[in-house]
Structure 1
């Protein structure tokens, strides 16, 4: 499934039309210095970075694999720093250089377990000891429409991870068991969790979760696999 973890062509095609809605829970930012270094991984068109700026944060950096999304972000927010990420998940950041990573509706775009683990490993590398990861993503939906979509995709793609599906306009997305995040963030310290209900990019209501977690306070050995060719 590795080719489905890199869908920049899809995001380029819809870059001017999609609207993202995951809310920024500002109480989780209390106590964070306004000069803190904040990375928005999968920043899209810069919506969350704009909200952070409105709350007084100025040291912001957004990356995304879609040149189309980055072009829109630069047009909407010309004073902000955005960069196309060409070797995802590898970041152009030194070790232990980031205070907060925002990861909003990114894992839903990465169907494969190991690809998600590589991303979290890279974020762990760039976060300062005790820095924070603010994750917002989508859970498994239990209505019949979604159950049918999960089952259909799995049947067509060799029993792929339950919760993966294809949208009507061609994106391959993933919804998650809630205990998956506990496994994925095993090296992090839980800080807080909150349920959210969001409108998806195609206008459907969906149940999600937001997680605030602390990076390890001592170095955790990491080997981040560099992306290889896809078939």
Structure 2
């Protein structure tokens, strides 16, 4: 499958107007010490990192490819640190630098197979053994609107689940088998489904996974 994996131009322009709603599951964050080193990968405007800081976590870092949302995050969430990824998905951090990482509605924005694998491999590298990874993303949606988008874009992108939004992004919803393949190097601990709103305000079902680095 071939699909764009660098959409930083979108996230620096149209993407700056979006609101993200995938919530933290406090029962999962309660497993972490308040001084744990936490990474919010694909932090956008810092909503999630700010939420972690508000829960009392003292070592929170957010990273993103888009400078404009990161600038907003720095202004609005001073209790967390933020950095722009200059060579994604690579992080300027040693192996095992983090106790936990959060990947919320990021894979949906990285539709290419190889780019997804590289991102997950980098998170595996920077998490310590036993470190936790919390994922929130989308499986294939059952409603006709999404199914029509999957069918319409399948020939172009070679993957059922990749689609174009009306304002210019290319996104992806996943089969469960795809997520299992991506996170095969992690131990599954828990999961849940919940109703959310997409970045364009549409109702959807999100799947959240709690995983541990083997």
**TM-score w.r.t. length of structure 1:** 0.89
In structure 1, distance between residues paired with 2:2 and 2:9: 15
**What is the CA distance between 1:215 and its match in structure 2?**
0.3
Map residues 1-231 of structure 1 onto 2, 5 A cutoff: 4-157=4-157, 160-216=158-214
Return the offset for 1:156: 2.9
Where does structure 1 differ by over 3 angstroms across 4 or more consecutive aligned residues?
none
| Mapped partners of 1:140, 1:31: distance in 2 | 29
Structure 2: where are the runs of 5+ without partners? none
Q: Distance in 2 between matches of 1:118 and 1:196?
A: 27
State how far apart, in whole Å, the 2-side matches of 1:31 and 1:63 are: 23
Is the CA contact 2:14–2:167 (under 8 Å) kept in the aligned structure 1?
no
Query: Could you tell me how far apart the structure 2 residues matched to 1:209 and 1:119 are?
Result: 19
| Shift in alpha-carbon separation, 1:112–1:193, aligned structure 2, 3 A | same
**Secondary structure in 1 matching 2:12:** helix
Q: Report the CA distance between 1:31 and its aligned residue.
A: 3.0
Root-mean-square deviation (Å): 1.3
Give distance in 1, aligned partners of 2:51 and 2:78: 15
Contact 1:15 1:72 in 2 (8 A): no
CA distance in structure 2 between the aligned counterparts of 1:183 and 1:62, rounded to whole angstroms: 26
Offset of 1:77 from its aligned partner?
1.7
